[in-house]
Amino acid sequence: MEQTFVMIKPDGVQRGLTGEIISRIERKGLRIVAMRMCQVTDETARRHYAEHVEKPFFNSLIEFITSSPAVPMIVEGAGAVSVMRTIAGATDPKESLVGTIRGDFGLDVGRNLIHSADSLESAKREIAIHFTEDEAVLYERAEERWVYE
């Protein structure tokens, strides 16, 4: 099983969409093996978005992600990285398909509700930034025999 990093951003929390987003992840058949609500610190945000440090939107990105509580998660399942990217939708909500989180609830790229790692390498790096190794609770859901062949 593959693990990926997902975070419900401050706009998703403030708009009361946390439960809806978690529900979509679980209904797809993915497992949440670690999750918490937290205030992302400036240091954590800068490590998380380090690849954007030279981009003009970096400071506003840091300001936004630290502005209000967020919900980081480790999500697990077959092809979890690509499955979560599909569930989340295109980065720009205006380009996201109806049925995706961003397509159903977003309007602006700067308020796109959810972060989902874009590769397995990014997922591993981001998980290590937000969680310690002992925070993931590995388990198998009873209905998984009805999800996977």
| The pair of three-digit structure tokens given for residue 127, joined into one six-digit string | 């998980």
In angstroms, what is the C-alpha Rg of the chain?
Answer: 15
By the 8 A CB rule, do 33 and 130 touch?
no
48 as an active site residue: the answer is no
For 37, 45, 103, 118, 129, the CA distances from 51, given in Å and listed in that order, are 24, 11, 26, 13, 14
Listed in sequence order, the DSSP H helices in the chain are: 10-14, 18-28, 42-48, 58-65, 80-88, 101-105, 120-130
Q: Are β-strands 31-35 and 2-8 bridged in parallel, bridged antiparallel, or unpaired?
A: unpaired
Determine which one of 48, 52, 115, 130 is catalytic: 115
| Residue with tokens 């309007």, as numbered in its chain | 107
Which are the catalytic amino acids?
115
